[in-house]
Amino acid sequence: MDDSQAIRLLREGDIAGLEVLVQRYQERAVHAAYLICLDVEMAQDAAQEAFLRVYRRSEQFELGRPFAPWFLRIVANETLMALRKRKRLLPLVGEAAETSLPDLSPSIEATLLTAESHAALRQALAMLSPKQRAAVVYRYYLGLSEAQMADLLGCPRGTVKRRLYDARQRLRQILSDCAGTIIW
Amino acid sequence: MNKIAQNLSEMAHEAVGPVDLWPGIERRAPRRSRRARWMPASRLGWAAVVALLAVLLTTAAYAASPLFVDVYLINPSWNPDAASLGHSVDSSQTIDGVTVTVEQIYLDQERILIETSVTGPQGMSLAHSGAELYDGQGLLFPWIDGAGHVELGKVTWVLAFDATPLADPLAEREFELLLNVNGIEVVEEARVSPNSTEGESGAGAVELEPLSTSNYGPFRLELRIPGTVTDAP
């Protein structure tokens, strides 16, 4: 069953259509959300909320067009919204302090090196603003063009370029201390 | 996959681990509010409703601002004093040149009214689509109906939602209004195909071009109002 067939089922009130989409896209959705919020629980909540929005608003999807970009934009919006809500609840907690480093299991040297790379990358991402992280995820993880990002974010293309440039510069600066860990 | 995407993907995979969202989604999915049978199922249906309401409202003797009066006059059992009881709100969002602004909110124990304005390109007939209202905890308030004024490039509209899901009507509230905007380019004159001649069709071939439609959104506006409530009439 392809995505459009699943959406048709949804529109007919058949929840089996939603299950197909969940099984197909849940991992990518949670990963994209995690890269923006750096919080596993929040990422899973945001992805779940995004699927529920698809369920409620399946009629807004244009059949025949690719489902993934449309859906992953909803995931990103949900994540940014969740971050804004948390910021209102915890206004005095610094963003980097809110998140915890992933558990590492350095069983062999190679694994340790890889884990160190991921930890460094995660720490670097944590030092970006949520919008800068979203820009990085849109561009490099979801593979959107700058024009698509401008359309999604509702801002001029120049603003997108600037946000990406700032994010890249900041990441390069942060990662320059972690020699040989991440290749950009 | 390039190196950056691969690094990001591996990092996320390592941190997140196995994912199984389906049980939680399955529990919550049946709570979806289904569209009432009388509601339009397509964008053209919505456009027809907008046009019909615009005609009705602009020809009625009492059709004037404030719009809360208009929407209440549709249902005579409602309280027309709502027009003076709304909370002013200044929340707006612009996407692709289309701006949605929430002007004010009124609520009592039965309904929530949200006055919105939508402005966009001149020559474009604009209409709301798929408006949904949630509170801060994600509780959905069912849509009832709406009314307003329509002109090219601008719509001022009151959206009415059922307030009965409100658990604590006295508390300060945050709402999230989600909606899309559909725009239809209004063609003032039929376009004549440059290749047509009078001889081909006898009376001059007029080529009807398909309507140019655009979708904007989703718009997402966060609204906060103080914790007071008006008794329903």
- Domain limits, chain A: 1-95, 107-184
Query: CB–CB of A10/A19 below 8 Å?
Result: no
**3-class secondary-structure state, position B209:** coil
Question: In the numeric block, which tokens belong to residue A39?
Answer: 């919080």
Taking residue B64's Cβ as centre, other Cβ atoms within 10 Å add up to 11
Residue B143 has a pLDDT of 81
Count CB atoms within 10 A of the CB of residue B165. Answer: 14
Out of A27, A52, A115, whose CB is closest to B29? Answer: A52
pLDDT bin (cut points 50, 70, 90) of residue B17 is: confident
**Cβ-defined contact of A121 to B7 (cutoff 8 Å):** yes
Measured between alpha carbons, how far is B160 from B100 in angstroms, rounded to an integer? 16
| Closest residue by Cα to residue B57 from B160, A87, B65 | B65
Give me the helices (H) in A128-182, please.
Answer: 130-136, 146-153, 157-175
Which of A49, A151, A182 faces B7 most closely, judged by CB atoms? Answer: A182
Q: What are the distances in angstroms from CA A56 to CA A60, A61, A152?
A: 9, 11, 21
Residue A81 and residue B220: Cβ atoms within 8 Å?
yes
Q: How far apart, in Å, are the Cα atoms of A130 and each of A33, A87, A155, B176?
A: 11, 11, 16, 20
Chain B residues close to A114, C-beta within 8 Å? 10
| Reported pTM | 0.47
User: Who among B15, B28, B138 is closest to A34 (CB)?
Assistant: B15
Nearest in space to A142 (alpha carbons), one of A23, A33, A1 = A33
What CATH topology corresponds to A1-95?
Rna Polymerase Sigma Factor; Chain: A (1.10.1740)
Q: What is the pLDDT of residue B106?
A: 79
Total number of residues shown for chain A: 184
- Listing DSSP states for A59-128 in one string gives GGS-TTS-HHHHHHHHHHHHHHHHHHHHHHH-TTS-HHHHS-PPP----SHHHHHHHHHHHHHHHHHHTS
Report d(CA A171, CA A124) in Å as an integer.
Answer: 6
Best to test chain B binding among A34, A58, A136, A174 (most B CBs inside 10 Å): A34
For residues B55 and B100, what is the distance between their CA atoms, to the nearest angstrom? 23
pLDDT in tens, B185-230: 765 444 444 554 444 444 444 444 555 678 888 898 988 776 554 4
Q: Determine contact: B6 vs chain A, CB below 8 A.
A: no
Q: Which of A111, A10, A59 is nearest to B180 (CA)?
A: A59
Phi first, then psi: give them for residue A102, nearest 5 degrees: -65, 150
Chain A CB contacts of B19 under 8 Å are: 26-27, 30, 44, 47
Q: Give B-chain residues touching A35 at CB under 8 angstroms.
A: 8, 11-12
First CA to last CA distance, chain A = 37
More reliable by pLDDT, A180 or B205: B205
Per-residue pLDDT at B158 exceeds 60: yes
Residue-level pLDDT at A92: 35
What does pLDDT average to over chain B?
69
Residue B16 and residue A43: Cβ atoms within 8 Å? yes
Using the Cβ of B20 and the Cβ atoms of chain A, whether some distance falls under 8 Å is answered with yes
Residue B157, token pair as written in the block: 């509209």
pLDDT at A89 > cutoff 90 = no
Nearest neighbour of B12 by CB, restricted to A19, A35, A81 = A35
Chain A CB within 8 Å of residue B1 CB: no
Domain limits, chain B: 37-189+210-225
Q: How confident is the model at residue B138 (pLDDT cuts 50, 70, 90)?
A: confident
CA dihedral A53, A55, A58, A59 (to 10 degrees): -100
Closest residue of chain B to A143, computed from CA coordinates = B5
CB contact B198 to A (< 8 Å): no
Tokens of B7: 């690094």
Distance separating alpha carbons of residues B119 and B152, to the nearest angstrom = 9
Averaged over A2-11, what is the pLDDT?
A: 85
B97–chain A Cβ distance below 8 A for any pair: no
Interface test with B, best of A18, A37, A56 (most B CBs within 10 A): A56
Fold of A107-184: Arc Repressor Mutant, subunit A (1.10.10)
C-alpha gyration radius of chain A: 18
Taking the C-alpha atoms of residue A72 and residue A138, their distance in angstroms, rounded to an integer, is 9
Q: Mutate which of A20, A35, A133 to disrupt the B interface (most B C-beta within 10 Å)?
A: A35
Residues B37-189+210-225: name the CATH superfamily: Conserved domain protein. (2.60.40.1640)
Residues A34-77 pLDDT 10s: 988 888 999 999 999 899 888 877 777 777 778 888 888 888 88
Both tokens assigned to B20: 């199984």
Which residues, at least 6 apart from A126, have a Cβ–Cβ distance to it below 8 Å? A38, A95, A96, A99
**Strands of chain B, DSSP E:** 87-95, 98-107, 111-119, 124-135, 140-141, 143-151, 154-162, 173-185, 213-225
